[in-house]
Amino acid sequence: MIFRFVCSECGQEYEPGSFIWRCAVCGGLLDLADFPVCFPLNEIGKRAATLWRYREALPFDEAYEGWQGVTMGEGLTPLVPLSRDRANVALKIEYLMPTLSFKDRGAAVLIAKAQELGVRSVVADSSGNAGTAVAAYAARAGITCDIYVPGSTSPKKIKQIAAHGASVHAIEGTREDTAQAALEAVEQGTSYYASHIYNPFFYQGTKTYAFEIWEQLGGRAPDVLVLPVGNGTLVLGPYYGFKELLRAGMIEKMPRFLAVQAEGCAPLAQAFERGGDVAVPVVNTGTEAEGIAIAAPARSRQILAAIRDTRGGIITVPDTAIEDARLALAAQGFYVEPTAAVAYAGFQACLDLANTNSHEDEKLTSLVQEVVDRSKQIVIPLCGAGLKAA
């Protein structure tokens, strides 16, 4: 078996089909062990415009074709210039996915993998979009699905999940209480944990964000990726993706990652500023950006290491800036939910920071300069559709 889970702490290996979600020896997070990937350029260009065009870089047995019954055509989302004035800044329109958020990347790959492994039922917890995506693909794959969401989740997202036939469990309390309820269901039951946080296959889906950008830019990496970060699925996935492209000799250098958090819930930004290796859990003091309001990100060590490895940085934006960014995007024709305006708000914050030049941190200053430099290629995702918000 070339696809193995490996403990990020002690190196213990596991069969991915086992219903284990963290290391049985030490409790560490599981990763997918490196496996050989390849990019058959002549083939990729001829295939349908979905993320499955990179299937030799996805963790499936060569003979497995079940994904064809699971896919809804997700991926290869448009990459469009922000404006004529800022043509070097490209927006990746992730809200044009089948369930209206980028989480379809992870969910399509994870659920197809669950199907290949013979899984009959899954459990997931989410602040909304991941739950919607997992519910939709599970329905398509004929897999029973239970989704745990915080009671405060947008009613529209809850309806969307229920419409796919999933059992919705709305949990009062914090996002962490919801995660706990899902874990209890996994431990007591016989379901596979289709977690976008713990399950390594989800990141195998989100890594295709990197492959698409590389292809859409004519076979090169951008200079800077601006990304929202909560649990890190759109940081770690693209990080793995660009690393694979680098190892395969398809790009010459890694793009720098500028991650953005909402000021009201920013444990990663605080750890980054402190120079810490892990995030210290915070109390969420409130933000409209419900999709990234993660007070205790489980993969914080990996996220911080990945961002530092790209010579990147993490900044925060207040809710007023998120709302301004949402309106500014709408004024350009793009209607997104508040969480999906965070990355663009981060870009706008860089424009301000570059003017005031007030940052003491040298590395962050150089990153900000790069983001506002019109000769650099910047990519910003619009992750979720505006009509999802209450």
Ligand X SMILES: *Cc1c(COP(=O)(O)O)cnc(C)c1O
- What is the binding site for ligand X (CB under 6 A)? 101, 103, 129-130, 228-234, 291-292, 294, 337, 339-340, 383-384
User: At residue 351, what is the residue type?
Assistant: L
Q: Which is nearer to ligand X, 265 or 368 (CB)?
A: 265
Is 41 a binding residue for Zn ion by CB under 5 A? The answer is no
Instruction: Report the 10 Å Cβ neighbour count for 283.
Output: 10
- Pick from ligand X, Zn ion, none: which does 25 bind, CB < 5 to 8 A by kind? Zn ion
Q: How near is the Cβ of 9 to Zn ion at its closest, in Å?
A: 5
Integer angstrom CA distances of residue 95 from 85, 102, 206, 340: 23, 6, 14, 9
- Pick from ligand X, Zn ion, none: which does 339 bind, CB < 5 to 8 A by kind? ligand X
CA dist., res. 109 & res. 131, Å (int): 14
Per-residue DSSP letter, 352: H
CA dist., res. 362 & res. 368, Å (int): 10
The H helix count followed by the E strand count for the chain is 14, 13
283 near 274, Cβ under 8 Å? no
- Pick from Zn ion, ligand X, none: which does 9 bind, CB < 5 to 8 A by kind? Zn ion
The window from 12-20, 150-158, 334-342, 369-377 that contacts Zn ion (CB under 5 A) reads 12-20
Q: Which is nearer to ligand X, 115 or 129 (CB)?
A: 129
Q: Which is nearer to Zn ion, 106 or 200 (CB)?
A: 200
- Coil vs helix vs strand at 300: helix
148 near 125, Cβ under 8 Å? yes
- Pick from ligand X, Zn ion, none: which does 306 bind, CB < 5 to 8 A by kind? none
Q: Which of 3, 5, 6, 7 binds Zn ion (CB under 5 A)?
A: 7
Q: Which is nearer to ligand X, 89 or 342 (CB)?
A: 342
Is 23 a binding residue for Zn ion by CB under 5 A? The answer is yes
Q: Which of 13, 18, 25, 363 binds Zn ion (CB under 5 A)?
A: 25
Tokens matching residue 283: 């109390």
CA dist., res. 349 & res. 305, Å (int): 23
Compute and round to an integer the Cα radius of gyration of the chain.
Answer: 19
- Pick from ligand X, Zn ion, none: which does 12 bind, CB < 5 to 8 A by kind? Zn ion
Residues in the interface with Zn ion (CB under 5 A) total 8
Q: How near is the Cβ of 260 to ligand X at its closest, in Å?
A: 10
Is 4 a binding residue for Zn ion by CB under 5 A? The answer is no
Closest CA to 97 of 169, 205, 225: 205
The window from 10-18, 42-50, 147-155, 294-302 that contacts Zn ion (CB under 5 A) reads 10-18
- Pick from ligand X, Zn ion, none: which does 70 bind, CB < 5 to 8 A by kind? none
Give one DSSP letter per residue of 370-385, joined into a string.
HHH-TTS-EEEE--BB
299 near 232, Cβ under 8 Å? yes
Q: How near is the Cβ of 27 to Zn ion at its closest, in Å?
A: 7
Phi and psi torsions of 369, nearest 5°: -60, -40
- Pick from ligand X, Zn ion, none: which does 178 bind, CB < 5 to 8 A by kind? none
Q: How near is the Cβ of 25 to Zn ion at its closest, in Å?
A: 5
Q: Which is nearer to ligand X, 199 or 233 (CB)?
A: 233
Give one DSSP letter per residue of 106-142, joined into a string.
HHHHHHHHHHHTT--EEEEE-SSHHHHHHHHHHHHHT
| Residues 170 to 209 in contact with Zn ion, rule: CB under 5 A | none
Is 89 a binding residue for Zn ion by CB under 5 A? The answer is no
Q: How near is the Cβ of 197 to ligand X at its closest, in Å?
A: 8
- Pick from Zn ion, ligand X, none: which does 10 bind, CB < 5 to 8 A by kind? Zn ion
Q: Which of 28, 40, 73, 318 binds Zn ion (CB under 5 A)?
A: 28
Per-residue DSSP letter, 361: -
- Coil vs helix vs strand at 144: strand
Give one DSSP letter per residue of 205-231, joined into a string.
HHTHHHHHHHHHTTS---SEEEEE-SS
Q: Which is nearer to Zn ion, 10 or 248 (CB)?
A: 10
Cross-strand partners of 7: 30
Place of tokens 């800077």: 224
Q: How near is the Cβ of 189 to ligand X at its closest, in Å?
A: 25
322 near 290, Cβ under 8 Å? no
- Pick from ligand X, Zn ion, none: which does 292 bind, CB < 5 to 8 A by kind? ligand X
- Give residues in contact with Zn ion (CB under 5 A): 7, 9-10, 12, 23, 25-26, 28
